[in-house]
Chains A and B, each alone.
Chain A
Amino acid sequence: MRILLVEDSKRLRETVAKVMRRSGYRVDESGDGEEALWKARENAYDAIILDIMLPGRNGLEILETLRQERCVVPVLLLTARDTVGDRVQGLRQGADDYLCKPFALEELLARVEVLCRRGYGQRVPLIYIGDLEVDTVARRAVRAGHSLDLTAREFSLLELLALNPGAVLSRTRIEEHIYDDWVSPMSNVVDSTVYALRKKLAVTPELPQLIHTRRRQGYILEERSK
């Protein structure tokens, strides 16, 4: 999942970004309103965490601009403004969620997960594809009763594929969602991750392959009859 984190406090921004990255998110950071708006326009994010008091451009103005431009990416307002009026204004202006500072990182992660899931039309954290079960909250996958031992990046890839079942995901899109600014994706990084994931999904030799390659298009996760 690719997240844009907009927060003018460098210390808080870096801490949250670090935790989110370690939780498997690809995180882009911004401490300036104008830059944040540019990034939101240029990239496809699964969710945006947005502070309100920002230099350059106010968070609410950014949100309003994005909504006017028909950008439907889920936005979580993360702010020190805690009055009912502030929350109502933020939600009415198009925010999907509102979290006041100080906050628990667990709660922030949970809310971001919900927002990301909602972006893919998923209401529950469990995704089933054939005999594969993906738990986006516990960040755990089970196939045919066997728990899969996945790295954070492998799980992120599986989650992205599972959230788009039957849809072809291009390498570019996968790169965008799995790798952040800090990890420069090599041209074969996606392929190698898909290869590793396929190996782990084949817990027994007789189980059918779930990740399929669509030549020159990308990858697709679906259960196909043998």
Chain B
Amino acid sequence: MKSIRRRLILWLLPGFAMLWLAGGTAVYFLFQASEFARIDNEIEDLERSVRLLTAAETAKEHPGTGYGPRLRRVRLPEFDEPGSGFYYAVFTETGEPLQQSPSLDGRNLPAAKPDGGASNIRLEDGEHVRMKAAPLGDGRRGGGRARAGGKTQSGIAVVAVSLEEVRKSLATLVVGMVITGGIGSAACALLIGLALRDGLKPLRVLGREVARITPQSLSSRCSTDGLPREIEPVVSLLNQLLDRFEEGFHRERRFSADLAHELRTPLAESRSLIEMGLRYPDEMNASQQQEILLASARMERIVNAMLQLARCEATAARDDEVIGLRHLVEASWNPCRVVAEERGIHLHIDLPPDGTVRGSADLWSLLVGNLLANASVYAPEKSSVSVSGNNEILLRIVNPAPDIRQEDLDRMFDRFWRADQVRSGDQHSGLGLPIARACADAMGLSLTASLEASEGLAAPMLSFCIRR
């Protein structure tokens, strides 16, 4: 299982470490640059002193010439004490050493060209220094000269300052940053954990609420009170999901209950007949066996109708065919023809020959077939069923309905609803109209029923209209 805490820590800790590293590096180099600038100023001052002192010495010994018989040692307290960290050396232009400060204590500064910049080097004993070279004298062009081996030459003064203190400071800074970075990372991990625990608390509460929802309590919903804004949409969607679950579950439960209820009577019939046969074998004749068969056939019809209804309710029609209306009505009337003729019911079709509808041919057939079957059975004997259609109403099926009342219209699409609630008939399960409506719904159509007064007839007309 993936942990949000682990994932956040895996992302945030390296991020924090990189930020810390970048910040620390910036601080390190800024501090270093600042120290180098300070040291460069010191070097500048010392170098200026060295140049001025050597220039003053030369002028004193040979006034007006600019050349001295020999180079005098610069006497500044920083250069006298060994290990003071301040060094200088004087070289001829060819790099021969002429003089070194006592503070070098036998070590050597390298000769360098006076290019104006300071550079870092290591002395023989490993001490890091920052040094700068400058021509001897007062800085005037050709003014710096030194005498070596009895000859007067131009000279270069090299001034260096130890970097050991700076390096120690930088090392301390690095150690400090590593320690604080480590502590910061640990603190960051801890804070992430605490923040997550606090931030995810509503999710835990939500989880507990969801865990309490059972098939028996599907009407429960998760509360959005006090939830963070970020979680509210999730909870709203979860509640919408529960709405759909509840509706589906309710539908399935109603299906099971309806099915069980409707099957109980034919089951009781079969069982009673069989028990009677076992109890009184002389009663079990061919007629009784035929009755058992009829009861079984009734159960089969109910189960098939319920499954058909469930399929229609559960799926949306994908087919989009062009169906000839007249042919559809005629084909759907054929299965009802025998019953209709026995009852003297006449079908009157008032549809244009080229009238068409779109949708699934199977669903249309089921829809119209159930409506016509309903009319053929429940319309009064010797009456007529008329079918018409126009641009607004795709199909309208009308028949006289003396037993239907206005209040029945709301309930007639309920499963197993019958006008007189008689279940004794074997042929009708009370599922025809619910199947018809489910077919219409599946194709995105509307199927409605209404009662209309009829001219010259006492019975009202029951009208089923299919609209887009």
Binding site for B on A (CB under 8 A): 8-12, 15-16, 18-19, 22, 31, 53-56, 80-82, 100-106
4 further interface pairs, Cβ-Cβ under 8 Å (given A19-B276, A19-B279):
A8-B423, A8-B424, A18-B280, A102-B271
The reply to whether B265 and A12 contact each other, CB–CB distance below 8 Å, is yes
Interface bits B66-83 vs A (CB < 8 Å: 1, else 0) = 000000000000000000
The reply to whether A8 and B273 contact each other, CB–CB distance below 8 Å, is no
The reply to whether A100 and B264 contact each other, CB–CB distance below 8 Å, is yes
The reply to whether A53 and B421 contact each other, CB–CB distance below 8 Å, is yes
The reply to whether A101 and B265 contact each other, CB–CB distance below 8 Å, is yes
User: B265: which of A22, A54, A80 is its contact (CB, 8 Å)?
Assistant: A80
Instruction: State in angstroms the CA–CA spacing of A55 and B403 once bound together.
Output: 13
The reply to whether A18 and B283 contact each other, CB–CB distance below 8 Å, is yes
Q: Which B residue sits closest to A105, measured CB to CB?
A: B275
The reply to whether A31 and B276 contact each other, CB–CB distance below 8 Å, is no
B237 at the interface (CB under 8 A from A): no
Query: Chain A's nearest CB lies how many Å from the CB of B240?
Result: 30
The reply to whether A81 and B275 contact each other, CB–CB distance below 8 Å, is no
User: A15: which of B267, B276, B423 is its contact (CB, 8 Å)?
Assistant: B276
Report chain B residues within 8 Å CB of A54: 421
Binding site for A on B (CB under 8 A): 260-262, 264-265, 267-273, 275-276, 279-280, 283, 291, 294-295, 420-424
Q: Which of B260, B262, B273 has the most CB of A within 10 A?
A: B273
Report chain B residues within 8 Å CB of A106: 275
User: B422: which of A12, A18, A55, A103 is its contact (CB, 8 Å)?
Assistant: A55
The reply to whether B276 and A101 contact each other, CB–CB distance below 8 Å, is no
The reply to whether A55 and B420 contact each other, CB–CB distance below 8 Å, is yes
Query: Chain A's nearest CB lies how many Å from the CB of B143?
Result: 119
The reply to whether B273 and A11 contact each other, CB–CB distance below 8 Å, is yes
Query: Chain A's nearest CB lies how many Å from the CB of B251?
Result: 18
The reply to whether A12 and B272 contact each other, CB–CB distance below 8 Å, is yes
Given contacts A55-B420, A55-B422, contact A105 B272 (CB under 8 A): yes
Instruction: State in angstroms the CA–CA spacing of A206 and B269 once bound together.
Output: 51
The reply to whether B261 and A104 contact each other, CB–CB distance below 8 Å, is no
Query: Chain A's nearest CB lies how many Å from the CB of B68?
Result: 126
Q: Which A residue sits closest to B288, measured CB to CB?
A: A15
